[in-house]
Structure 1
């Protein structure tokens, strides 16, 4: 009977994690489509980072606040008179609980960032606004009207007409999207592994 309860708990945790990830991914897609409008000026980098990281930070905070285990840990630590790390066993169980809390709390923010990077809209906006000469040259090197490409890079996400041909603008944006889509695959792989580990340990 205990084995059956363990299997049910693991299934519930996995189902909850999957639902959180699905809702977060859907929310990010709607957010990117409806809200995100790149300013296409020198503030592109800041704009892109704010819209990538601030919602992720809010989701992390929410994940920690809404976690039942967080409150059990906090209230349990406050009510105890003895030291928390009195023995090796207590330290191990504390580390396990912290691992489980952080794994579940990081599910939504990591999903948000991964989906945003896969989508590429925020990456295009942010990376065309960098003031790093090396990176800008990397994007425009060997392209037609290279000097103009570097100068007008921040206008590329909006499709504003400039001296740079449309096909060059599209090539640069395509390269940014491709570079952006490599990281989330690795990120989602690790997140899946950590979530499975956390579910198995609980």
Structure 2
């Protein structure tokens, strides 16, 4: 039991990294299945379209799925087009700031798919062999054009093409490793920039994450308890006709829900660790001149609202 608890604690502490790793491994597995069981290059004038479809369309689908399964995306979109927020410049700025981490998570799958597909060669080889630009670059006579398009079905034909140009396999793998290098550099640079510009220290950042996780757990427990009591009062009122009616179970008003539902951006001038924290510390949001959308500072890496979202979506 202790070992199981240790494993669960490890998974919870590293759930973001484990999530990215899982997506990457699933993407690699999908590419291998598509490449071996589904992909069949036609070896004619359709090569470019067919190969490009297998190389790019799954990447686009993974990108869209990255948005769909991200709870933060739906948190941002819920109610954003209401008449109260439609023309709010502050709301637009707030959403743009919070869309950056959403976009970053959605971009995990597509580059992984393209990089793995390039390293496995088959998709790029099919697409490039039918490209007129590649044909004009690699061929010196018209007979070479038809020969080039048939290479994916018969690799030995590449020996009949003269020239010093790289083979499709070499081109594909070279581009794949270059893409991996670019992705790694961009991820590392973004992480360093995010931490260097963070408005909180390392220990405070760690405390923010712990607080957010505990707040989420307690909120769910209290919400379930309150919902159960409310349902019990209402059903008792319906089935047990009493006079007078039982005392109603009070719930937060619509205004209170609005004040605590928006994503919170940390503001170093106001030491609140979540929107609920700010709501409780400012007399239900009434002691401030405007219960706005937090500071204008971009979200901190692993911000205080992300733990709540990870409970309901990747």
Output the TM-score relative to the length of structure 2.
0.51
Once the 2 structures are TM-superposed, how far is the Cα of residue 183 of structure 1 from its aligned partner? 2.6
Give the distance between the partners of 2:16 and 2:74, measured in 1 at CA: 18
Once the 2 structures are TM-superposed, how far is the Cα of residue 130 of structure 1 from its aligned partner? 1.3
Match of 1:189 in 2: 181
Give the distance between the partners of 1:118 and 1:153, measured in 2 at CA: 20
Unaligned runs of 5+ in 1: 1-7
Once the 2 structures are TM-superposed, how far is the Cα of residue 60 of structure 1 from its aligned partner? 1.3
The worse-fitting range, judged by mean Cα deviation, of 180-189 and 68-77 is: 180-189
Match of 1:155 in 2: 150
The answer to whether the 8 A contact 1:114-1:188 is kept is yes
Q: CA RMSD in A?
A: 3.3
Give the distance between the partners of 1:166 and 1:181, measured in 2 at CA: 17
The answer to whether the 8 A contact 2:55-2:123 is kept is yes
The answer to whether the 8 A contact 2:63-2:110 is kept is yes
Match of 2:20 in 1: 17
Give the distance between the partners of 1:181 and 1:84, measured in 2 at CA: 48
The answer to whether the 8 A contact 1:60-1:108 is kept is yes
Larger of the two Rg values belongs to structure = 2
1:167-186 to structure 2, matched below 5 A, reads 167-168=159-160, 175-186=167-178
Give the distance between the partners of 1:166 and 1:190, measured in 2 at CA: 30
Match of 1:3 in 2: none
Post-superposition CA distance 1:102-161 (Å, at most 9, x none): 1111111111111111111011101111123xx2132235xxxx5432332111110188
Give the distance between the partners of 2:138 and 2:30, measured in 1 at CA: 30
Match of 1:4 in 2: none
Match of 2:45 in 1: 42
Higher RCO, 1 vs 2 (CA within 8 Å, ≥6 residues apart): 1
Once the 2 structures are TM-superposed, how far is the Cα of residue 44 of structure 1 from its aligned partner? 0.4
Once the 2 structures are TM-superposed, how far is the Cα of residue 175 of structure 1 from its aligned partner? 1.4
The worse-fitting range, judged by mean Cα deviation, of 179-188 and 8-17 is: 8-17
Q: Which has the higher helix share?
A: 1
Give the distance between the partners of 1:185 and 1:64, measured in 2 at CA: 26
1:23-34 to structure 2, matched below 5 A, reads 23-34=26-37
Post-superposition CA distance 1:140-190 (Å, at most 9, x none): 35xxxx5432332111110188xxx56336x99961121122233233334
Match of 2:256 in 1: none
1:86-101 to structure 2, matched below 5 A, reads 86=90, 91=93, 93-101=94-102
Output the TM-score relative to the length of structure 1.
0.75
Once the 2 structures are TM-superposed, how far is the Cα of residue 194 of structure 1 from its aligned partner? 5.1
Unaligned runs of 5+ in 2: 1-10, 196-300, 303-314
Distance 1:100 1:9, change over 3 A: farther
